[in-house]
């Protein structure tokens, strides 16, 4: 079972439905007890950093996310879910993130329309950490796949980056540390490439139906 964390913010069901479409046993969970024994965890998110972090903590599901990362259970964070992995965000100064990744989420550069609301092409990078030269999440997608983005903020570059996109400069699009993956784009809104990525994640969780 893949636990999709439902902490009451935005349409979290779309990620769960996309996982089911690729054959995964993905279910929405609203409390930590429902996530016990999960083979994988997904942290989606839309909206503002501070409000999402507040709702995640209030639900108790922040502990599920932290536990998955610490125990190297396959873990995928999407959009604002990815931003919540970091220590802080310029969007809501003073609100602490999960701190699973070092750094701050920053406003997109001057001179571009915010939010970035478009398809954009990834450029894969080789992480300098222990994840190796290629990303398991992006396997089989080729060097320049297209994905759909909706965001005004993005993490600052760090050693765990496995893909970027060009939007007024190099913007972090995906990160990977062990079996913790995160995407700034929305795979569930990204057609065949997005489904391929979600299938990669489901396989990492132990297979698909």
Q: List, by residue number, the catalytic residues.
A: 79, 186, 188
The residues that bridge with 123 in the sheet, in sequence order, are 164
Distance CA 26, CA 41 (A): 9
Distance CA 129, CA 49 (A): 26
Query: Please, which residues have CB within 8 angstroms of residue 192's CB and are 6 or more apart in sequence?
Result: none
Query: Please, which residues have CB within 8 angstroms of residue 164's CB and are 6 or more apart in sequence?
Result: 122, 123, 125, 157, 170, 171, 172, 173
Both tokens assigned to 139: 């396997």
């Amino acid at each position: 079972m893949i636990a999709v964390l439902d902490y009451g913010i935005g349409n979290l069901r779309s990620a769960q439905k996309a996982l089911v479409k690729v054959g995964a046993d993905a279910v929405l969970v609203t409390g930590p007890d429902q996530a016990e024994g999960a083979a994988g965890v997904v942290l989606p998110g839309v909206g503002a950093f501070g409000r999402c972090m507040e709702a995640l903590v209030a639900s108790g599901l922040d502990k599920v996310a932290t536990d998955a990362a610490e125990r190297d259970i396959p873990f995928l964070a999407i959009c604002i879910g990815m931003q919540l992995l970091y220590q802080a965000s310029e969007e809501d100064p003073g609100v602490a993130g999960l701190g699973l990744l070092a750094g701050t989420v920053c406003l997109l550069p001057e001179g571009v329309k915010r939010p970035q609301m478009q398809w954009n092409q990834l450029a894969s990078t080789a992480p300098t950490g222990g994840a190796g030269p290629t990303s398991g999440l992006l396997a089989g997608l080729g060097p320049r796949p297209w994905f759909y983005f909706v965001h005004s903020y993005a993490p600052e570059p760090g050693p765990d980056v496995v893909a970027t996109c060009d939007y007024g400069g190099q913007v972090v699009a995906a990160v990977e540390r062990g079996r913790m993956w995160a995407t700034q784009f929305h795979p569930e809104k990204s057609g065949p490439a997005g489904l391929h990525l979600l299938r990669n994640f489901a396989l990492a969780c132990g297979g698909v139906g």
